[in-house]
Every structure is written in C-alpha cells, then in structure tokens.
C-alpha cells in the first residue's frame, strides 16, 4: 500500500509588495523545517545554513534572484532582503501614512477584506519604523466605513477602552450581514406583451422564465459577479437567469437587428395601485436632458418658457412642447425623474446621465449591466441587451402619486420649504416674491397664512440671547499663579505627526496659551510636566495652582505626585463634558510648544 503523504506548508513567493506578510510566513516555515537558527546565526551547522539559503531563494520571484546571487549564507540573504524592503525612509513612511489616512471601504468590498487591508498597512508602517498604535489604526478603519456603519461606529467610539480592529470586527460583521440579506425573488413578475415598441421595430421575443438554478452549497462564501451578492456563483444567479429569460436570451429566438427595438419582455415590478404602464428608459451619456415621447406618463406638465429644439443622432430634430416629471417604479425602488422634456418625435425614452448625476445618482457601467447607486447604496441595475444599449425598465405612473418615495431631490412646495430656502426669510417678504421668482408655485395667501400659525424652531433659537458671564472675582495677580489645562480629542483626522489629541495650558494672568499635540491621551501627564517646566524657566515665576477637570488623564498617581513634590496645588472642577474650560479665541497670544 502506498504511504499517504501529509500536505506541506507553503509560502507565497516574495514579490514587490508582500514583504510584510512574506517575512512572517517565511520565518514560520523555516521554524517548521528547523532551519531558523541557521538564519539568526545561533546554529553553526553548515548543512542547515545551505538548506535555509536554498529555501529563501526558492521562495522569491525571479526579479529578486540577482540580489541573492552574491549572498553566501542564509543570514546574509535574509538581512539583504530585510534592508531592501524595510528601508526606514521618510518617503516610504509618508506614502504609507497617506494610504492609511485615505483608507476607504469599496462599494462592493467585503468587510473582512477591508479590515485585512487596514491591518496590512499597520504592519507595513511598523516594518518601516513607524509605530502605529492599534487605536490609531482602528479610528482610521472606522472613518473609512460607509454611512451604513455610522451607528455602530458611534457606539464603539463612545467607550473609554482602547479600540482594536480585531475586537471590533465581530460587531461590524453583524451589520454587514443585515445589509447583505438576500432579496426575495418576486413570485408575480409581470411580462409586457410584444408590440409596445416606441417608434422603432417592435419586439419579437416572448421571454422565458427558465430554470431557477442550483441551490447547492458549493457557492457559499463566494461573491456573484453578476448581482454582487454572496453565497452563489454567477452561473447559479437567479437574477441573471430572470434577466436572460426576460430578454429571450435562452429561448433560441432571432436576435434583433441593429436598428430594431429589443423584445419588450423585461421582468418588472407589479404596477402601482393607482395605475400605470410599462416603460423602458435608455441610459444616454450624450443627452443633456431627460426626454420622452409619451405624454400620458408625464406628471405635472407645464409649458416651457423658452423654445427647446433637440437634435437626434440621425440628424433629425424635435421640439419640446412641455416639461414635467415621471415616476418610474423599478424592482424594489422608485425613481422620480425631474425636468423631463416632452418631445413627440422621440421614439425612445432617454435618461440623461449628466442630468441624473447632478441629482445625486452614480452610474457604474459594466460589460453586461449598469449599476445605479445613491449615497453609495445600490438602488437599481440596468442590463445591457443584444444591441449593447443599457435599458432601465419598470412601470410609469399615469396620475399624480401620493407620498411616493423619490431617489432624486424633490420636495413638495410649502411655505416652510421656501422659508428655509431663502435663509429663513420672513413670510411677509416671501409673499412679495411670488411674482418675482420663477418656479415658485406657492401663493401669497399661503405665505400669509403660514405667518399667522406655527413657529420656526431655528428662528426661535437664533433669536435667543445668552446672559454675559459674570466677571471673575479670583483673577491671578502674577504670571503662573493659576494655570488652566484641558485635553481635546480624539480628533476625527490624525495629524501628519500621528497625533489624535492636544493639551492646552492657559495662564490666567497673561492669557498666554501653550498647546502640545498628543499621540495618546495617556501622554497628558508627561506633556503637562514638560510644558510647566518650560514656562517656569522662561518666565522666572513658579506655578502655584493648576486647575483641571476630573479626567483620569489628570487625576492619576503621576501628575498628583509631581504637584505634591513641587508644591503645586491641584484644583479639580466638577464640570460637564459640554465644552472646554476656556476658549482659545479670548487669548491675546498663542504659543505652540
């Protein structure tokens, strides 16, 4: 019987950007082989040294071989690579620091991969001689998360314990799992019948739902390249099969010609309760405005102030006769298209990419689809069909909707809305603007009625007055008789020097303020002692009283012993966390120490 061999540990070969992880794995690999002592010089076995050198050479890419040719021992080879990759230069540190401060999570990037990138940057910085604390890396990691993680980030940063990426990851993964919960496929997808083409040749496909695909577990942990969801492969994607079936991809029907309309069989959401008709919209990067040739789907139509003539790609022209809005219901979302031009000569409905992006929508074009997102959240996909045109299909309402959600910026006009738009201008003055402002549909009577009832909270708050502070009765009589100190932080962005906090010391007599940046809050006591010693030496005066809050950065054995040994009275104030002990703008002089 043949002897079964156990799998040997493997190490990826050294390239130009993986030294931080390669060195760790290679060291472990040499330890398993019993060759690491030869690399460190603790072993004088020539045979082990040759084997270690051979393993190092076998685990590097070809472009590193000239570097190792002249290395006679494994120790020299290891040190040569270490010196080459761990060059402690300011340029390398600056580059890695910039990557850490600009760290952002990708739109479709898994959280675990994003966390690994952050940890890898921290490891590379430490390898370059820049000691990045776990707290600093964790804060940069949280700052790069999308808005969906805002609540859990606030909870994690509210505590006093030091943050670590590996400790936060289990809590953040729960949010990711909730955000990526699989959608339930529609059981009653509607298919429009062929023959509703817009101007061009009418569709000929009938569509086929097709097979729902395998539901086996062999795709767990994988990301589908079609829909972006996890847990299955592209070949088993139900959405892909529905899309292909809806456009006759597997039915063996005749492919449309280059100038014909695609078979109108896209799977759509159920029609709105108040009625509607199926429509499809072409995503057009060359169009400057949304336009349609169907007046029945145009909501709130209004005449145009100026004549607008549109030139089509075939050289023809069309004149816009009206302008309005279109409410397009797609699978799971609703789009409100504003400023849509009605052009009777148009044979297709066009969505202007340029116009939509100014309303906050983002478009990512791929080979077989266009992904539409809003605030970094995917809201719709427009597939690219046989003629390489991207279509967004759905139901368009034919009557004015009530309380319909809109993805583009749109609000119902109210007196309060115009009051806020004009910087909280009074309702009496707003009533005078009704005939001066184009697009204002609120009447003067509505403005006057709003002035009589209700209060605007921002206006009320802005008109309140604060009583002046009472003059102090315990002002200092000489410099350093009383020094105030407080700590500010953590700051949302780490400085180039690696500081997240700063401590201020304010002389009550001269109003001189000294500011010291801090990498950690625990460095407060050391910074205070050094700054006080400097101020005493430069001024020739001894400090008498040091006033602070009850923070643990001041009430500790280190600073308490310093004040006791130097005859300084440590005064503690029972203040809240609503603001600092003093305001820097009141200081007459600012000195950075």
Same domain, 382 and 422: no
Q: Does residue 199 lie within any of the structural domains?
A: no
Q: Does residue 405 lie within any of the structural domains?
A: no
Same domain, 37 and 147: no
The CATH code of the domain that includes 571 is: 3.30.420.10
pLDDT in tens, 271-289: 444 455 677 888 888 777 8
Lookup result for tokens 């919960």: 181
- Judge whether 509 and 481 are in contact, CB under 8 Å: yes
Same domain, 488 and 452: no
The CATH code of the domain that includes 271 is: 2.40.70
The per-residue pLDDT string of the chain (593 residues; one tens digit each, 9 = 90 and over) reads: 444 444 566 788 888 777 877 888 899 999 998 999 989 988 888 899 999 999 999 999 888 888 888 888 999 999 888 888 766 556 677 888 888 888 888 877 888 888 888 888 888 787 766 788 888 888 889 888 888 788 888 888 877 778 888 888 888 888 777 765 444 333 333 223 333 333 333 333 333 333 333 334 444 556 776 777 777 777 778 777 777 665 544 333 333 333 322 222 223 344 444 455 677 888 888 777 888 888 888 888 888 877 788 777 666 778 888 888 888 887 667 778 888 888 888 878 888 888 888 877 888 888 788 888 877 778 888 887 666 688 888 777 764 443 333 334 344 578 888 888 888 888 888 888 877 777 777 888 888 888 777 678 788 788 787 788 777 777 788 898 999 999 998 888 888 888 899 999 999 888 899 999 999 888 898 999 999 999 988 888 999 999 888 888 888 888 889 998 989 998 887 644 444 444 333 333 333 33
112: number of Cβ within 10 Å = 11
Which of 178, 197, 220 is the endpoint of a domain?
178
**Rounded Cα gap, residues 478 and 356, in angstroms:** 65
Q: Is 419 exposed, middle or buried (0-12, 13-18, 19+ CB in 10 A)?
A: buried
Same domain, 98 and 139: yes
Same domain, 433 and 534: no
Same domain, 389 and 447: no
Same domain, 524 and 560: yes
Q: Does residue 286 lie within any of the structural domains?
A: yes
Phi, psi of 549 (to 5 degrees): -90, -170
**Rounded Cα gap, residues 83 and 86, in angstroms:** 5
Contacts of 402 (CB under 8 A, 6+ apart): none
**Rounded Cα gap, residues 446 and 283, in angstroms:** 40
- Residue 588 DSSP SS3: coil
Q: Does residue 192 lie within any of the structural domains?
A: no
Q: Does residue 473 lie within any of the structural domains?
A: no
Q: Does residue 6 lie within any of the structural domains?
A: no
Q: What's the total number of domains in the chain?
A: 6
Which of 128, 160, 178 is the endpoint of a domain?
178
Percent of the chain with pLDDT over 70: 75
Same domain, 104 and 32: no
Same domain, 573 and 504: yes
Same domain, 336 and 360: yes
Q: Does residue 146 lie within any of the structural domains?
A: yes
Q: Whose CA is closest to 383, among 408, 365, 360, 406?
A: 365
In which domain, by residue range, is 243 found? 211-247
Which of 37, 61, 85 is the endpoint of a domain?
85
Same domain, 555 and 495: yes
Same domain, 442 and 507: no
Q: Does residue 407 lie within any of the structural domains?
A: no
């Amino acid at each position: 019987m043949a002897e079964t061999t156990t799998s040997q540990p493997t190490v990826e070969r050294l390239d130009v950007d993986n030294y931080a992880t390669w060195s760790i794995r290679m060291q472990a690999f040499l330890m398993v082989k019993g060759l690491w002592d030869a690399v460190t010089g603790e072993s004088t076995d020539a045979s082990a040294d040759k084997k270690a050198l051979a393993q190092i050479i076998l685990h590097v890419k070809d472009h590193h071989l000239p570097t190792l040719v002249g290395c006679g021992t494994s120790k020299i080879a290891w040190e040569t690579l270490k010196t080459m990759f761990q060059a402690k230069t300011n340029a390398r540190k600056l580059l890695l620091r910039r990557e850490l401060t600009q760290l952002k999570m990708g739109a479709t990037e898994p959280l675990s991969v994003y966390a690994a990138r952050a940890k890898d940057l921290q490891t590379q910085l430490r390898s370059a001689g820049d000691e990045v604390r776990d707290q600093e890396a964790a804060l940069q990691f949280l700052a790069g998360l999308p808005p969906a993680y805002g609540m859990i980030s606030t909870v994690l940063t509210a505590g006093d314990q030091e943050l670590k990426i590996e400790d936060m990851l289990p809590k953040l993964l729960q949010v990711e799992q909730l955000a990526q919960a699989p959608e339930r496929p529609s059981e009653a997808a509607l298919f429009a019948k062929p023959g509703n083409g817009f101007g061009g040749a009418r569709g000929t496909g009938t569509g086929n739902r097709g097979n729902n695909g395998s539901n086996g577990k062999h795709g767990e942990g994988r990301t589908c390249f079609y829909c972006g969801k996890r847990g299955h492969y592209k070949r088993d994607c139900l959405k892909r099969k529905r899309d292909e079936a809806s456009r006759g991809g597997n039915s063996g029907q005749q492919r449309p010609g280059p100038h014909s309309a695609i078979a109108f069989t896209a799977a759509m959401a159920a029609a709105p309760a108040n009625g509607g008709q199926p429509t499809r919209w072409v995503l057009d990067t060359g169009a400057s405005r949304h336009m349609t040739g169907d007046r029945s789907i145009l909501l709130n139509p209004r005449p145009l102030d100026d004549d607008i003539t549109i030139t089509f790609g075939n050289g023809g022209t069309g004149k816009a006769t009206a302008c309005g809005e279109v409410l397009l219901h797609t699978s799971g979302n609703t789009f409100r298209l504003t400023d849509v031009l009605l052009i009777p000569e148009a044979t297709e409905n066009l969505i202007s990419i340029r116009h939509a992006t100014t309303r906050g929508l983002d478009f990512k074009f791929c080979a077989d689809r266009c992904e539409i997102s809003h605030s970094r959240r995917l809201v719709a996909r427009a597939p690219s069909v046989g003629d390489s045109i991207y279509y967004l299909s759905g139901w368009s309402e034919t009557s004015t909707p009530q309380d319909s959600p809109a993805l583009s910026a749109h609000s119902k006009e109210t007196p309060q809305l115009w009051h806020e738009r004009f910087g909280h201008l009074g309702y009496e003055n707003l009533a005078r603007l009704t005939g001066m402002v184009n697009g204002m549909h609120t009447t003067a009577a509505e403005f006057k009625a709003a002035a009589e009832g209700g209060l605007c909270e921002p206006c009320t708050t802005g008109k309140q007055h604060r009583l002046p502070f009472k003059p102090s009765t315990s002002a200092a009589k000489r410099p350093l008789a009383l020094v105030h100190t407080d700590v500010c932080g953590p700051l949302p962005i780490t400085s180039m020097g690696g500081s997240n906090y700063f401590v201020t010391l304010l002389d009550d007599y001269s109003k001189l303020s000294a500011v010291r940046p801090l990498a950690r809050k625990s460095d407060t006591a050391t910074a205070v002692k050094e700054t006080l010693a400097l101020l005493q030496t430069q001024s020739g005066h001894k400090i008498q009283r040091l006033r602070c809050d009850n923070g643990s950065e001041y009430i500790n054995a280190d600073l308490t012993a310093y004040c006791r040994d130097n005859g300084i009275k440590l005064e503690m104030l029972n203040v809240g966390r609503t603001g600092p002990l003093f305001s820097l703008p009141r200081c007459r002089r600012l000195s950075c120490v």
